[in-house]
Amino acid sequence: MPTPVTHLVIAKHILDAHPELVPQGDDPALGAFLLGSTLADVRVLTGEPRAATHFLRLPPQRGDSGIRAMLGAHPHLADLDGAGTRARLMVAGYLAHLLADEIWLRRIYWPYFRHAIARHDWERLLWHDLLRSLVDQEDRAAVPSDFRRVLESAPGVNPFPFISEQALDGWRQLLLRELESPDSSPTFAHFASRYQLSAEEFVALLRSSEHMDRIRRAVPQGAMGRYHAEAAGVGAGLVAAYLAGRVREFPLPLLDPDNPEPYDG
């Protein structure tokens, strides 16, 4: 649900709180975790349905969990002791991504966008994409300057049987372009294409004070800060449990579309 840039910032917050999760000074290991934390969105590049990489159909059923579904479909991913630290960190980042997306559904999309902000589906989706882009722009300042270099050094490992080597490398290149400038963001261009807009026209919407004011009225002040804190806090617990071999014991929050959990509730 959040953009790749926001997922990178959540990954950064996880490691800021728990630096022991990644070997100190091991840039390829850090690169594997960062790449994994965005990789579920490779479907934007491959054209696959969301369920192919997120293991969750939208709208989900009560009790669904993309993490549980992925580990059920590919049980070897729950225990990669023989595959090396970097492969395990890539899977750990991937799990943190799925968790962050599902928290976004519960805390942001369902409470503030599913019914409230617009009457028509396309308009609701547009406002949601504008929010994601606004958060992306604000998060870019928090992306460390060396993340681009670290991602370039990410190891050529691929523990995921459902992602091709070509797709993984293509996603890494797209992510590097993403970090160059918001004006050339592949994510913004992807959002724009949904509404038959140019990337420039979409960015112009982001710069409209009228549009931004409407979004800020729809989403309570402080909600995004609380989202970042929850995604990083729960994500850190999930990553630690995975790396310790106890991921199946981790208490995953389960989805319930009929009971959204707004931060102002």
Query: Does 54 score more than 80 pLDDT?
Result: yes
Q: How far separated are the first and last CA of the chain, in Å rounded?
A: 21
Q: Answer whether residue 214 is part of any domain.
A: no
Q: What is the pLDDT of residue 119?
A: 57
To the nearest whole percent, how much of the chain has pLDDT over 90?
69
Which conformational region is residue 256 in: left (phi greater than 0), alpha (psi within -120 to 50 degrees), or beta?
beta
Q: Answer whether residue 199 is part of any domain.
A: no
Greatest C-alpha distance within the chain: 54
* Parent domain of 167: 4-119+143-180+222-248
Closest CA to 90 of 254, 253, 242, 249: 242
Number of domains the chain is built from: 1
Global pTM reads 0.94
Q: Answer whether residue 113 is part of any domain.
A: yes
Tens digits of residue pLDDT in 161-219 = 999 999 999 999 999 999 987 778 999 999 999 999 998 899 888 888 888 888 888 88
Spatial distance between the Cα atoms of 223 and 219, rounded to a whole number of angstroms: 7
Tens digits of residue pLDDT in 215-244 = 888 888 899 999 999 999 999 999 999 999
Q: What is the pLDDT of residue 81?
A: 75
- How far, CA to CA in Å, does 107 sit from each of 80, 114, 205, 220? 32, 11, 24, 11
Q: Answer whether residue 232 is part of any domain.
A: yes
Q: Answer whether residue 147 is part of any domain.
A: yes
